[in-house]
Chains A and B, each alone.
Chain A
Amino acid sequence: MADEVGLRGDSADRLIIEADEGLATIWSRRDFFSLAGWGGIVAALGAGGLAFGRFMFPRVLFEPVPIFKAGLPEEYPIGTVSERWKQEQRVWVVHEPDGFYALLAVCTHLGCTPNWLNAENKFKCPCHGSGFRRTGVNFEGPAPRPLERVKIALAEDGQLLIDKSIQFRFEKGEWTKSDAFLKLRA
């Protein structure tokens, strides 16, 4: 600063007020306004960013209803895996001697729709070759965990009622829950 004064040396320099060492604070007025200005910009961008993040998650989703009626239990022969609802609802209905369970037809690898191969008694995913036993447990290919089971119950009119929004995971021990399996006398 002293150099500049020396270099210019005209009358305007007398207006430059040097900070007195004794009066110097950590924050000068300029530091304060600079920080306040940048702080304001960062705060505004941050608030806008957070708002945008929330903006991208709408409160209501217009997606297909996850609950459907799957017909009467008698329509499913014992010991079969039914692909009847796969196209429409992505669900297999399996009828075992002691009752029903419903498997979500969504591969646990990357979300493709596997096929039921009756002759080989397994589900096979066409995308990357994951294989699942008829219980839904994975045994080959890249799938990291068993297929998900969904809630199955009887509706008041005697039809099977399947709710895909309630899912049961084998690895969490949820398949033993009452809604994951519909016990019926054969």
Chain B
Amino acid sequence: MAPQSNTARPLSPHIQIYRWTLTMILSILHRATGVALYAGSALLALWLLTIATGPEAYEAVRGFASHWLGRLVLFGYSWALFHHMCGGLRHFVWDTGRGFDLKVVEVMARLSAVVPLILTLAAWVAAYHYLGVL
């Protein structure tokens, strides 16, 4: 097949032309978190394999997980899980043929942006409280 991009012909406007809307951002984030979670699953496999292997392997992973960068990865992982889940719930509403009214779309968009943040923060505040840090 011949290359499809012929720069001589006019192209239809793309994302850099349009004013950004929350629904656009969420659409992209849903896919981005999905792809990121793919990598997260690989980390989950690594984590489980180190536990199955023995204490030395596990301690190496635990060392990284205790570092602020490791914690940030875990925090991001939990946020991505909740964000992708809430995005999926929004898609379930649309799957039933409902929720296409612009007002409803906007309300659902705001909810699926804020609720994952609340869930993530709640989980981590509870965890740090449980660990005696907070």
A binds B: no
Chain A contacts to B: CB under 8 angstroms: none
